[in-house]
Amino acid sequence: MKRNWRQADGFTLLEVMVALAIISFALLTYLHTQNLSIALHNESANMTTATLLAKGRMVALESSQDPEQGEREGTFEDPQYAAFRWKERVESTLFDIVLEAHVEVTWDDNRARCSVELISLVVRR
């Protein structure tokens, strides 16, 4: 019995190309999802770090005897936090013994400048 090439077993070129297109699409979707996951993880880690650093600066302001009014800014001493900068602003309120304290921590992301700001009322002692 003689077989014709149209009756041969196997896949046609079109079937192989469709299968490769489906695999390529799935792989690209997977890689995009992984890149997005890494970016969101880095953003979350920076946000958490900035919040904890701002809280530390706020605790220092709240525990001081008489915080100075005005603005101050600087960087963190630990080289681990070299990408973060802080800015403090202490303002008076309607009450003489109460001050309003603002602490902002900023850092540069790949896309934009990000920041976290905490605001608290501080009582003079």
Predicted model pTM: 0.77
Q: Which of 117, 52, 28 minimizes the C-alpha distance to 44?
A: 52
State which residues form the domain around 83: 12-123
58-61 CB contacts, 8 Å cutoff, 24+ apart: 58/101, 58/103, 58/118, 58/120, 61/88, 61/90, 61/101, 61/103, 61/120, 61/122
Question: How many domains is the chain built from?
Answer: 1
Residue 119, domain member (yes or no): yes
Q: What is the pLDDT of residues 54-96, one digit of tens each?
A: 999 999 998 887 888 999 999 999 999 999 999 999 999 999 8
The CATH number given to whatever domain includes residue 27 is 3.30.1300.30
Q: How many CB atoms lie within 10 A of CB 10?
A: 6
